[in-house]
Structure 1
Amino acid sequence: MQFMVMSKQRNLLQVVLLIVMVSMCLYWYAAYHDVVEHSELFHLITKETKYILLWKEFWGYKFGSGNKAFVDAGCRILDCLITDNASLMPHEDFDAIMIHPPTQNTPYKFKNRRPDQIFVMFTIEPPSHMPRNLKVFDNYFNWTMTYRTGSTFHLKYGEIIPLDSAPSTMDQAMVMRQEIMRSGINPAKGKTKLAVWLATNCNAGSNRQTYVKILKKYAMVDIFSKGQSCGGRDVCPREKNRNVCYHLVEKTYKFYLSFENSICEDYVTEKFFEILNRNIVPVVLGGVDYAAIAPPHSYINALDYTPHQLAEYLNELDRNDTLYAEYFWWKPHYRVNNLYETNRQVFCDLCEALHSTPLEKSTVKGLQTWYMKQAYCVNNPVFEEN
């Protein structure tokens, strides 16, 4: 009997030892991979490195993490590290903390905030997606990084850069348009359908859904949407494979409806820049001054037409490949940067600003007026049919 008890005790001890050994192996395995996974955080760290914290949830952030992000971006100054790991060090030891108001409705009260610590407001959302009362953030931020002109760091969804061959006058641009018409280049070749809208929000403040509904009466417009919302078909889910989806659209359609969810000053998203990078003509609806940011005759502005008039114009271009080709005259003479590229630019600028001596610190006031009221958004416009 005593032998059986001792035997059971030995077996139990062996099991316990085995569990301990397995646990230690798992711990060291996880620790090793954690170091490997986060080794990019500490690529070129020096005593001068500036530490930047991304506070909680962010939308539209496309830069990367660690010091490696600045190295990969080719920044002029590399001594910065960016992370969303708030436990990396005490909050007061970060040189800058970036905060995203659309997911943080009120200012978070950090303990022991340093006088020289920079709080940066980060957002590329329109006013309709922001907290209604931005006054609570007055005197909280030092710098801003947004899509709005006048931001400390102007983070655009994209930009169109003229190359050396770009025209400097409208007359030169017209000559180039005529040259492509004579060249025999045919961007319409192989395209079998007229226009497509990749729908997400069916009740947008821009009332784009109504414009499309009327447009469909007079022109062949396909709608792709998740779960067949907005009267569409679940054919091309961008969230699963964005490039495959856009490739399908580019190959098949002549026009893409780059309709923004908000009609606000400065607000133009990847719906425009992504399409400009492809062999398809964007039809735009938004509040930005498109003529100021894009070459002439590179897009069609839906707000210049009623839906019926726009349908007639698109159908005319559909019948005439030469006129359609004229919308592609600008492509050899400009480069289109996307949101990833503009992120690299502004975060390099942020790093450089944190290293400036003396530090150019300010306090942001009047956010409700600047970001909300002076965006001059047009909410739920009425679109006449004819």
Structure 2
Amino acid sequence: MGNLTNHPHVYKVLTVIFLVLFLYNSSMLLYNYDNINTIEVSEKSYTHQNMETKLNENIYLKDIESKQTNRKTKFEILSNPNLSNYTTSNFYKYYQDGLKVINKTEDDNSNDLKLILLYDPVFRNFKDGLDQWKWYFPLESPFTCKNGFSCRLTTDHDKLTEASAVMVSLPGLPPDSNTWIPGGYIPPDHQKWVAVWAEAPWYFAQHQNITSWLQMLDDIFDWTASYHSDATFTGFYRQNCSYVKRKTKQPMDKELILKSKNNSALWVVSHCNSTSGRDKYAQDIQATGLINVTVYGKCSTSGEKTEDAFKNLDNYYFYLSFENSLCDDYITEKFFKMLKQNIVPVVMGAPRSDYERLAPPNSYIHVADFTSPTDLAKYLLHLQNNPDEYYEYLEWKEWYQLDCPEFPWLGCQICQKLYQKEAPQKDLFRNFTSYWNSKKCYGQDFTNTRISEDNM
């Protein structure tokens, strides 16, 4: 027969046979796999949809496990005894002062309530930094909210392990990022860490170097409480209130309102030379000679705060609600308080659409709608000289009313959420730097805040 390998068609034949066998074996494997799955599904009464759901659940559980592992690793790094100088006696030296801040009326029946730990002062550089938690919490333990939920409150770091929530004010943290977590501490699974801040990133860049170690906050916090519209807890500048349209018009005394106006614009400000450039903008308005701006506060000519600065608001046509930073979502109480008064806010801060989302239509004047302080001053003077047109900025009050929840406190929102069941570590902020920078800031260019859709 001779040597088969020398036959000219042997390799072609062998190749064809190999391909046929390969395809046959592959089809049998797929067939058997499908049959096995079908048998298993039949035996366990699973549908194909059930299988996919189970698979997704396994992936989710692995993801949760990964988050917990990362969190544990991060705490191990931050709480390394070789790095941490933490002790309950020297942490800001507020331990004893903190115990005095909270009015304690606890009894044996209070032990079953969720415990919230105020971990650090609201602001590091203020002597009464811990007392300033009163902006967010009723400083008593236990406290009961109008929503029916009750929690205990403490500043005692010895109770860290039993706390259900740990409130961390970012402006209150020490400059050294390795000294704020106790050595060897790993949070229990049930414990929620909450990052709290009220100022925009530009404020932190100017006053404390937090941006240099933001990455150290990765995998630490479960929840956030800030001015961000997508924060876990938001709205503390407006106390979660909103404006809703009335079913019927509620007329106001137009003549009486207009009759009381005898001053142009008021501005109460104590944070001078801010990153938004609001100081120069207000000075430029005044320099036109068209509008007089009355200034109170530490940035006024006297350089002192005036207790009765807001006493005669009805006498002014306008209030300058100028923010210290031009950033997305950053709208503070200086705007929301003025909406409650018969005065027209002139706003500088977040993009116009952010104001539109929160305020009634035609309830304010945005500086970004004007090319310069002079153009704005001309318009304000025009409104002063044309009372009917001016009143159009107050007319919304006849159609809109302020609707506030029964529990505006941030502390009450957190207390309620602690009693609600949720997936473990569901809201863990793995990349805190990314979240921190998710809201844009615009320097001193107020014209960029005209239309937020183009900026976000």
TM-score using structure 1 length: 0.74
Which of 246, 254, 260 is matched with 2:323 structurally?
A: 260
Answer yes or no: is the 8 Å Cα contact 1:124–1:155 preserved in 2.
Answer: no
**Number of the residue aligned with 1:121:** 195
Q: Secondary structure at the match of 1:187?
A: helix
132-141 or 148-157: bigger deviation: 148-157
Q: Over aligned residues, Cα RMSD in angstroms?
A: 3.1
Are residues 252 and 49 of structure 1, via their aligned partners in 2, closer, same or farther at CA, if it must alter by over 3 Å?
A: same
For 2:224 and 2:139, the matched residues in 1 are separated by 20
Q: Cα deviation per residue 1:78-130 (whole Å; 9 max; x = unaligned)?
A: 2x1123x225x432121111001122143622335323221110111111233
Looking at structure 2, the residues matched to 284 and 205 of structure 1 have their Cα atoms a distance apart, in angstroms, of 16
Instruction: Determine the structure 1 residue equivalent to 2:169.
Output: 100
Task: Give the Cα–Cα distance (whole angstroms) in 1 for the partners of residues 392 and 171 of structure 2.
Answer: 41
- 2-side partners of 1:199 and 1:37: how far apart? 28
Report the equivalent of 1:132.
211
- Distance across 2 between alignment mates of 1:36 and 1:191: 46
Distance apart, 1:247 and its partner CA: 1.8
Structure 1: where are the runs of 5+ without partners?
1-34, 168-175
Output aligned runs, 1:188-227, within 5 Å.
188-218=258-288, 219-226=290-297
**Residues 155, 43 of structure 1: alpha-carbon distance in 2 compared, 3 angstrom cutoff:** farther
> How far does residue 293 in structure 1 lie from its aligned partner after superposition?
1.0
Q: Indicate how the Cα distance of structure 1 residues 39 and 381 shifts in structure 2: closer, same or farther if over 3 A, else same.
A: closer
Alpha-carbon distance between aligned partners in 2 of 1:295 and 1:126, rounded to the nearest angstrom: 24
Q: Answer yes or no: is 1:354 the counterpart of 2:433.
A: no
The Cα shift of 1:271 comes to 0.9
CA shift at 1:381, angstroms? 2.1
User: For 1:15-45, what per-residue CA distance to the aligned partner results, in whole angstroms no more than 9, with x for missing partners?
Assistant: xxxxxxxxxxxxxxxxxxxx99965442794
- Distance change (3 Å), C-alpha of 1:375 and 1:315: same
Name the SS for the 2:309 alignment partner: helix
Match of 1:234 in 2: 302
The alpha-carbon deviation at position 341 of structure 1 amounts to 7.9
Deviations 1:53-93 (A, max 9, x none): 11121156412223454x2x302322x1123x225x43212
Count of matched residue positions in the alignment of Structure 1 and Structure 2: 323
SS at match of 2:374: helix
Superposition TM-score, scaled by structure 2 size: 0.63
SS in 1 for 2:259: coil
C-alpha spacing 1:160/1:39, structure 2 compared with 1 (3 Å): closer
1:98–1:122: 8 Å Cα contact kept in structure 2?
yes
Q: Which amino acid aligns with 2:323?
A: E
Cα offset, 1:147, TM superposition = 1.0
**Counterpart of 1:276?**
339
Deviation of 1:257 (Å): 0.4
- How far apart, CA to CA, are the structure 2 residues paired with 1:99 and 1:37? 17
Q: 1:220 to 1:290 in 2, by over 3 A?
A: same
Which structure 1 residue ranges, 4+ long, deviate > 6 Å from structure 2?
none
d(CA) in 1 for partners of 2:355, 2:108: 41
Question: What letter matches 2:381 in structure 1?
Answer: N
- Pick closer, same or farther for the CA change 1:95–1:297 going to 2, 3 Å: same
CA contact (8 A) 1:192 1:252 kept: yes
Asked whether the 8 Å contact 1:353–1:360 carries over to 2, the reply is: no
For the 8 Å contact 2:115–2:152, the answer to whether it is kept is: yes
Change (3 A) 1:358 1:285: closer
**Aligned residue among 313, 316, 320 for 2:379:** 313
Q: Does 1:142 align with 2:222?
A: yes
Higher RCO by CA contacts (8 Å cutoff, separation 6 or greater):
1
Which amino acid in 1 is paired with 2:347?
Answer: V
1:66 pairs with 2:140: yes
For residues 203 and 36 of structure 1, do their structure 2 counterparts lie closer, same or farther at Cα, with a shift above 3 Å needed?
Answer: closer
- Asked whether the 8 Å contact 1:185–1:325 carries over to 2, the reply is no
Counterpart in 2 of 1:49? 113
- 1:296 maps to 2:361: yes
Deviates more, 1:144-153 or 1:262-271: 144-153
Q: Describe the superposition over 1:214-247 as per-residue Cα deviations: whole angstroms up to 9, x where unpaired.
A: 21122323242445x4xx3339725xx3xx3212
Whichever of the two has the greater Rg, that structure is 2
Q: Which amino acid aligns with 2:117?
A: L
